[in-house]
Structure 1
């Protein structure tokens, strides 16, 4: 699979290949945003593609990445099992909870759950 813009629940979503390169810098995030401007409204990033610093909130990497997407008015979906990270950090649990209440950044277990969120948001 390659990174691909797919129609999901009526919304164009850039779905990233789980086997692709790790997103480890702000520039990596900006590159994704540039790719999304080819027609996507949402970027679905497999959790496995995110550098572990994303889930260690003290690094501020997650905030920097999330803010980039908000600034460019693109929704970001982190897709996959992050339970190991959640077990280690109450701050991350709070961030995930708050993010999932909003409309810009979502943490979902799989693409089916993303489809459901997109239908609910429509």
Structure 2
């Protein structure tokens, strides 16, 4: 699990920071607390979440972003659709708690 304290992660640079923190750990999932994600990542028009997701997928990582996403879902139907679609897969998921990991 990525620590909840630290610089906010944003876009491709944030994705690379996660890869660096996770490198060498034998974990099924990399779990990132929502508090570590820069708020711009949840605005899909910035494309920052897409950049990060693509980097994680390219490195073959399974990433879970842990938190409550109800406010983001209410603010943006595009984000709600993105969350629903990614949660159908097995590489990037948004979960409320660790028990919800696939």
Using structure 2 for the length normalisation, give the TM-score: 0.91
**Higher-strand-fraction structure:** 1
1:32 aligns with 2:18: yes
Q: Residue 32 of structure 2 contacts residue 64 of structure 2 at CA under 8 Å; is this kept in 1?
A: yes
CA RMSD of aligned residues (A): 1.3
Rounded to whole Å, the distance in 2 between the matches of 1:28 and 1:93 is 22
1:71 aligns with 2:69: no
Rounded to whole Å, the distance in 2 between the matches of 1:27 and 1:88 is 25
State the 4+ residue runs in structure 1 displaced beyond 3 angstroms: none
Say which of 107, 113, 117 aligns to 2:100.
113
Unaligned runs of 5+ in 1: 1-14, 118-122
Q: Residue 12 of structure 2 contacts residue 52 of structure 2 at CA under 8 Å; is this kept in 1?
A: yes
Give the stretch that moved more between structures: 24-33 or 52-61. Answer: 24-33
How many residues align? The count is 101
- The higher-RCO structure (CA 8 Å, 6+ apart) is 2
Unaligned runs of 5+ in 2: none
Q: Which has the larger radius of gyration?
A: 1
Using structure 1 for the length normalisation, give the TM-score: 0.77
